[in-house]
Structures are given as structure tokens and as C-alpha cells.
Amino acid sequence: MSKYQVLTGPEAYCCPSAARMGIILPEPGEAHIEGRIVPEEEAMEVAARKFLEARNPTIHPGPLVLWNWNDKAVKKAKAIKILADLIPARLIPMADYRPKYPKINPDVEINPNHPNLTIWHNKEDVCMFVGVHCHQANLSLKIIRGGTSCFTIAMCAMSGHEDANLSFRDASVEKILLLAEWIGKLKGVSFQRPEEGAPSENGKHSDNIFAKLAEGG
């Protein structure tokens, strides 16, 4: 069993990959926190607390949810918007993977070649990757851990990410909304999941949060 911990940095200019240090990925129903395998429900609570304790919580959605390429992506994008509004957290897309030398605009996007610039510029202390291609997420999370003190959460649709400080696997709309429910529970807010396809009062579909104070409505 590896004694290496995937802690927030800055660790080193060229820190080792967590996989190289013996960190393994979780099995279905599990997650990892700083390299320690835990039940997924435990990680949900820790992630929710991290978001609520953060000064500048940020969600970085990637192309797999930004691109309107299938119905599943659309539903995930709406769930992410609900989660971001409930925290509340900023949404900074990772929309384009191409490097933009000699200058990028970190207000607009996170660049996988220099994700630390975005973290520093926005003073992020907790961030979450969701819908980012695995090879780009692995690169970015390692750079962020090596050069910043930001706590990283990866909501991965595949097997998870060793280089995140906290990582979920098999990400789905259900898991994103489960994290939103944990946020609501810790905030003392009653969170009601939106009914799929339910129109708002004006007849248009709404992406607003369906949440109200537990006390007083």
C-alpha cells in the first residue's frame, strides 16, 4: 500500500505522477480522497464541505459537456449549472485545448498547458473538473497540484484521476445532482431535483435551481 498522499501543493516544479507513486483508482461505488480509497458517499460529503468552505469555488466544465453532441451531454450540462448556482461557484469553461501562445485570456478559459495561470489569476482555492477529456485532465491536474495550493476535484466519466485531490468515477447526472443534494444538506437548504422536461410558468424550460430554505420557505 502506497504511503504517498495526493495533497494540495505547491509540491514541486516537476512533481511525480500519483500513479507512479502507487496511487490506485477506485472501484465502482468508491472514490479517492488524497489517494485514500473511500466509499463514494464519504467523498460526496467531503467535496461538498470543500466547496462550501472555499473562498473562490470554481467548476471547470470541458468539451464533453460544453459541446451539444448528445442528449446525455445536455442533461449533464444542466445538472452542472444547478450545482454551480447552489454552491454558488463560478463556471470557467475549458472550451478549447489548443495552446494559444504567446498569450491566453484566463478570464475566459483554462488552458491545459498552463492551468496554473487560471488558478492564480482567479485566486481559486477549490475547483472541479467535469467533462474534460481524461488525457487533458491528467495533465492539468498534475500541473495544478505541482504549482498551486488549489484543492482539485475530478468528476470523471471513466475510472477517475489519481492526480486529483479528490476524484469520483462513472460521473453521471445522478452523481452531479447527488453532490448538489449534499451541498443543500450542509447549507440547511431543501433541495428538490428538477423534473426532467418540466416547463416553467412561462412555458419555457428553465435551468434554475429548485431550492428553498428549509426554514421559512
pLDDT of residue 12: 66
Provide the pLDDT for residue 81. 94
pLDDT recorded at residue 210:
39
Which cell is 174 given? 445522478
Dihedral sign (CA 123, 129, 135, 141): positive
Q: What are phi and psi of 62, to 5 degrees?
A: -105, -175
What is the C-alpha separation between 6 and 43, in angstroms, rounded? 14
pLDDT, position 209: 39
pLDDT tens, N- to C-terminus, the chain (217 residues): 568 877 787 776 677 777 777 788 999 999 999 989 999 999 999 999 999 999 999 999 999 998 888 899 999 999 999 999 999 999 998 777 777 777 777 777 767 777 888 898 899 999 999 999 988 888 889 889 888 999 999 999 999 999 999 999 999 999 999 999 999 999 988 777 776 544 444 433 344 433 433 333 3
For the chain, how big is the Rg over CA atoms in Å? Answer: 17
Strands (E), 14-116: 30-33, 36-39, 57-61, 90-91
> What is the value of pTM for the model shown?
0.82
Smallest Cα–Cα separation from 164: which of 137, 203, 197, 195?
137
- β-pairing verdict for 36-39 and 151-155: unpaired
Rounded distance, CA 162 to CA 188, Å? 32
131: left (phi over 0), alpha (psi -120 to 50) or beta: left
How far from chain centre, in Å, is Cα 75? Answer: 16
The span from the CA of 175 to the CA of 193, in Å, is: 12
Q: What is the CATH number that goes with domain 30-95+127-193+206-213?
A: 3.40.50
In this predicted structure, what is the pLDDT of residue 198?
44
Can you read off the three cell numbers belonging to residue 180? 448538489
> 35: phi > 0 → left, psi -120 to 50 → alpha, else beta; which?
left
pLDDT at 196 (0 to 100): 57
Q: What is the pLDDT of residue 216?
A: 37
